[in-house]
Structure 1
Amino acid sequence: MMDELKKSTILAYLQAYNSFDIDGMIKLLHADIVFKNIAAGEVNTQTTGRREFRQLAEQSKAFFTSRQQVPSNFSFTGDQANIDIAYQGVLAVDLPNGLKSGETLKLGGRSEFTFKDGLLIAISDYS
């Protein structure tokens, strides 16, 4: 798979994510997708398969009134792509860590994407 095609797939996935288009995200995922969220070196969320991914995406959608992942610094090696991510989301609910509904959450991190058969088979988000 060419790097430009990988990049366009990642950008389509992020556009769907940013606009809460879960069907748009799912159509870019391999049936055996593995998603991981890693914070401070610890895996705090993991899903396997489209069904579990969809459940997590539906749950996550309720936490924000708006959200945006902005990618930069794409690098490609074989079937993998790595990018830096600037994340910003406006909360729809109060969080246990003290952040309140209406406040803006800002994070920096990186994401690793792995491709199989032209689809995303693994996504790991690091913050």
Structure 2
Amino acid sequence: MKDEEKQGLIHSYLTAYNNFDIDGMMDLLHTDIVFKNISDGEINAQTNGREEFRQLAEQSKGYFSSRQQDPSNFRFQADQASIDIAYQGVLAIDLPNGLKTGETLKLNGRSEFIFKDGLLAGISDYS
């Protein structure tokens, strides 16, 4: 894949994510998708395959009334890409860490993508 195609695929994925469009996200994923969420160096969520990814996406959807991932600094290498992410989400539920419904969660992090057969085969989110 050309870097422009990779960037377009990432933008399509983020647009679907921001719009809670799980079917749109799924359309962009390889059968063998591996997803990881890493916070403070610890993996706190991981899925293997499309069905596990869909289950996590459906579950996570209820946590926020709105959410936005804004990418910057695209870096490409072979079948991989890395971007910086500014994340903002308005909570739809109270969280165990003390954040309450209606509060805004803001994070800065990085997302890494692996591409296979023109689709996303790996997504790792770091915050």
Paired residue for 1:29?
Answer: 29
Deviations 1:46-95 (A, max 9, x none): 00000000000000000000000000000000000000000000000000
* Corresponding residue pairs, total: 127
Paired residue for 2:63?
Answer: 63
Paired residue for 1:110?
Answer: 110
User: Structure 2 counterpart of 1:115, which letter?
Assistant: F
Q: Take 2:113 and 2:97, find their aligned partners in 1: how far apart are those partners?
A: 29
Paired residue for 1:7?
Answer: 7
Normalised to the residue count of structure 2, the TM-score between the two structures is 1.00
Q: Take 2:97 and 2:116, find their aligned partners in 1: how far apart are those partners?
A: 37
SS at match of 2:6: helix
Paired residue for 2:39?
Answer: 39
Gaps of 5+ in 1: none
Q: Which runs of 4+ in 1 moved over 2 A?
A: none
Normalised to the residue count of structure 1, the TM-score between the two structures is 1.00
Paired residue for 1:100?
Answer: 100
Q: Take 1:65 and 1:86, find their aligned partners in 2: how far apart are those partners?
A: 17
SS at match of 2:81: strand
Q: Could you say what the CA RMSD is over the residues aligned between the two structures, in angstroms?
A: 0.3
SS at match of 1:99: coil
SS at match of 1:10: helix
Per the TM alignment, residue 123 of structure 1 is displaced from its structure 2 partner at its CA by 0.2
Paired residue for 2:82?
Answer: 82
